[in-house]
Structure 1
Amino acid sequence: MRSIRGFTLLELTLVILILGVLLSLLVPQLKVPYGHYNLESAAYRMAGDIRYFAQQTINAQSDTDTYKVNFDTSNDRYLFQKNTDVIKSVTLPVSTDLEYVNFNKNTLSFKINGAPSPLGGTVTLRDRCSGDFLYVIVAGITGRVRVDVEKPASGVE
């Protein structure tokens, strides 16, 4: 008879134990890059959402409707509103904080031409793991929205 070759239970247990130790050392190291990815993703999504909503304001061409974005810093989310109706609510990833907003009453309103009313401003996002910041900046005159790693000097462009 031929002998059947294979792995013993002890050998399989040792391999699984070694893999477990290696993974337990590796997983904490992935927290920072993953948190930074969430921060970037949230910032660019917010900038895109603001651009889209400003365009919706232009398309509506209504003097009676008011379009605004309310930033809820205590719940790390922002809401898009037409008059008093919430059109869309976006909650940031768990590892990303909506740190600071310098719009009047944490609200960004839009004129009929899509420009911010009365001024632009900055939204500060922070990654909880690395402590990194990203800034979503809305220019006051043109309404241009951009993401930057540096805070504007005045907070308003």
Structure 2
Amino acid sequence: MSRLLRRLARRLTREQDGSTLVLTVGFAALAVALIVAVTAATSMLVERRRLFTVADGAALAAAEAFALEQVRFDGGAATPELADAAVDRAAADWASAAGTDLAGLRVDGASADDRSANVTVSSAWRPPVVSLFLPEGLRLDVTSTARAVFVD
């Protein structure tokens, strides 16, 4: 009986050879996939923040795009009236000058209400390492609003 147990124990130890290697390779592949995903997410966050910077500047330039003839006096306060054409032009000029390092940058929309300008800007983002788990690229878009203030 003990001989049978010894033979069975030897057979079981022989069958376990190499199972650690498969486990190690699996964990290494999981670690590489996780590193690629975190790198891509960080890259997208940085690109989105850079795009927000351009959108904020474009909205500020658009909010200040008024002539003195467009200033209205209500009692004692002066308020500027923004025109859509001037807002579009100012936002496009700012975005083209400031976003030279962003891929596929475009102003998707610029509009004005009474005292504020809304600007939507988008650009193309591509992950630093392309893999099966990540998309080939995305279009990021952000919207920023700036208010026009006329100080007496």
Q: TM-score range by the shorter chain?
A: 0.3 to 0.5
**TM-score normalised by structure 1 residue count:** 0.38
Q: Which structure has the higher relative contact order (CA within 8 Å, separation 6+)?
A: 2
Return the index of the structure with the highest Cα Rg.
Answer: 2
By percentage of residues, which structure has more strand? 1
**TM-score normalised by structure 2 residue count:** 0.39
By percentage of residues, which structure has more helix? 2
